[in-house]
Chains A and B, each alone.
With several copies, the nearest count.
Chain A
Amino acid sequence: MGIELLVNLSYVAAAVLFIFGLKMLGSPATARKGNLVSAVGMFIAVVVTLLDQSIIDYKWIIAGIIVGGAIGAMVARSVEMTGMPEMVALFNGFGGVASLFVGWAALYGMDASAFQLITIILSILIGGVTFSGSMVAWGKLSERISGKPLVFGGQRVFNILLILAIVISSVMFTLNPESGIFLYIVIGLALLLGIMLVIPIGGADMPVVISLLNSYSGLAACAAGIAINNIILIVAGALVGASGIILTQIMCKAMNRSLSNVLFSGFSAVSAGGAAAKIEGEVKSMTADDAYYVLEAAASVVIVPGYGMAVAQAQHVVKELQELLEQNGAEVVYAIHPVAGRMPGHMNVLLAEADVSYDLLLEMDAVNPRMETFDVAIVIGANDVVNPAAREMEGSPIYGMPVINVDMARNVFVMKRSMASGFAGIDNPLFFKENTRMLFGDAKEMLGNIIKAFS
């Protein structure tokens, strides 16, 4: 009784820490501390659970924790910055499968009531969908499988039938909890559903999908908590489930999309594909030396980094160029698009690594109104986020997305290796504009050449 009270009070404390942690994670000044606060909550919850009397055998627990902890720590340490988003997907999938197993294991060793059976099947279902969905998202983000939306005829019908099948077999299971067959069917179908839900979504939308799946994994934990009557699972799971949905919506808004548009737009991709308008104009390229002469004379320069800067690991050279330009008397700022790179905040993190001052990183909305005042806009490995088609071409798949209007600067330098398209896989009329010059080559090398010209 004494221990039980301690355990439960600690659970309350852990929940409070989770709440504070989540709140603090939402604001830049406190985010890192918030993560720590929530980690402390998790630590407390785990430690007091181990004190619980119903645990009689520690060897498997210890084995599981050691194996899982080692893998988790190793992976988290070694993953590269650019690989972090897919890492989150992977971790999320593991959380889902854990909830699936917790629900499954709850079947044994207790005489489950109908209500409990329902919660068990829910945790298995949501856990399964989370797991396989996260795995597909991971594959798409890490380019292990194609980032293109995968669609086929009759996909909708298939999905509806799939969901029907899941409902029926879940009902069958609750009626016959003894026979394992329905259980396996449900697990299999849940895994299939997770895959089917994510494959029609393009790789560019994966961050949103991961956020949604993260919400699901919270709900799975919540359902598992109801199944085994553990209150901290319920509270923490519901918190994550709800806040994850809000975060998903916020992310959609940053991309100027609706959630349903993200989830289901893949289906219409087949038809809309070929309708792109013709782009007119001529591509003009220039050398690093030519670029130097223009930059030397420029009084104000805006640098727009994109995924290519991350690929080329060019952030340090960018910073060097910035300093040279500043010594030369020019004003230099960076314009950061919310979805530049492959995860939100990608560019900020890279530039922070190169010690670029935080003040110089302007948001899109701060730069666009004064774009005309810049002598030069240097686009470094960005493509979709500076694509004027989003503004001009109604048929374009990215039409309506807010972009950085570099084409309105006096001169635009675009650094990339080829005329290849970016993540969205669409052509960019920017490259054909009158005031655009292409600097073909790897961003790091090209910047290095310009810097050499300065000295």
Chain B
Amino acid sequence: MEIAVYLAFILMLSIFLGFELINKVPATLHTPLMSGSNAISGITLVGALTSAGAEHSGLATVLGTIAVAMATINVIGGYMVTDRMLAMFKKKGSAK
């Protein structure tokens, strides 16, 4: 019961914060920002780890292992692609 209240607050605050964090983003950054936040959504990997590691039924372990693999692709691939994209914006002669 009490925990549900805390969760409600955490959820509410996170959502508001998520809204506030993104303000005016120049068009050039739309794709990297999308890609970078997509990598963050790979956080589900943490959940997958606990599923795959716990000694449950066979099915849960299988599901967990697939989830780990999939989420890892998302995380590793996501961060690397984002970094590659951003690396290409080397700004020669730009003011800042």
- Residue among A50, A98, A234 facing the most chain B CB atoms (10 A cut-off): A98
In whole angstroms, how far apart are the Cα atoms of A106 and B48 in the complex? 10
**Of A107, A109, A348, A355, which is within 8 A of B28 by CB?**
A348
In whole angstroms, how far apart are the Cα atoms of A4 and B5 in the complex? 10
**Of A15, A19, A29, A91, which is within 8 A of B74 by CB?**
A91
User: B interface, by DSSP: helix, strand, loop or mixed?
Assistant: helix
Interface residues in B12-34 by Cβ distance below 8 A to A read 12-19, 21-34
What is the 8 Å Cβ interface bit string for chain A, positions 95-129, against chain B (1 contact, 0 not)? 10111011011111100000100000000000000
B30 touches A251 (CB 8 A): yes
In whole angstroms, how far apart are the Cα atoms of A81 and B70 in the complex? 23
A49 touches B50 (CB 8 A): yes
Q: How far is the CB of A107 from chain B (nearest CB, A)?
A: 8
Give the interface residue-count category, chain B.
35 or more
What is the 8 Å Cβ interface bit string for chain A, positions 66-81, against chain B (1 contact, 0 not)? 0111011101110101
A230 touches B47 (CB 8 A): yes
Which residues of chain B are within 8 angstroms of A234 by Cβ–Cβ distance?
7, 10-11, 14
**Of A32, A87, A246, which is within 8 A of B81 by CB?**
A87
In whole angstroms, how far apart are the Cα atoms of A95 and B43 in the complex? 9
**Of B57, B77, B94, which is within 8 A of A73 by CB?**
B77
B15 touches A241 (CB 8 A): yes
In whole angstroms, how far apart are the Cα atoms of A113 and B35 in the complex? 35
Q: How far is the CB of B88 from chain A (nearest CB, A)?
A: 5
Which residues of chain A are within 8 angstroms of B3 by Cβ–Cβ distance?
229
A291 CB-CB contact with B under 8 Å: no
B22 touches A345 (CB 8 A): no
Q: How far is the CB of B22 from chain A (nearest CB, A)?
A: 4
A8 touches B10 (CB 8 A): no
B66 touches A109 (CB 8 A): no
In whole angstroms, how far apart are the Cα atoms of A40 and B62 in the complex? 28
B5 touches A231 (CB 8 A): yes
Which residues of chain B are within 8 angstroms of A56 by Cβ–Cβ distance?
53-55
Q: Which 3 A-B pairs have the closest CB atoms?
A: A242-B18, A68-B72, A64-B68
B interface residues, Cβ below 8 angstroms from A: 1, 3-19, 21-57, 59-61, 63-94, 96
Instruction: Jot down 28 A-B pairs with beta carbons below 8 A, ordered by A.
Output: A5-B1, A9-B5, A32-B87, A46-B45, A56-B53, A64-B66, A68-B76, A71-B69, A77-B84, A84-B84, A85-B31, A91-B39, A98-B67, A99-B44, A101-B48, A101-B63, A102-B44, A105-B52, A105-B60, A105-B67, A214-B34, A224-B47, A228-B50, A236-B43, A239-B17, A345-B30, A345-B85, A358-B93
Beyond A16-B16, A42-B43, A77-B80, list 7 extra A-B contacts (CB 8 Å).
A19-B16, A32-B87, A55-B49, A68-B72, A244-B37, A352-B92, A357-B92
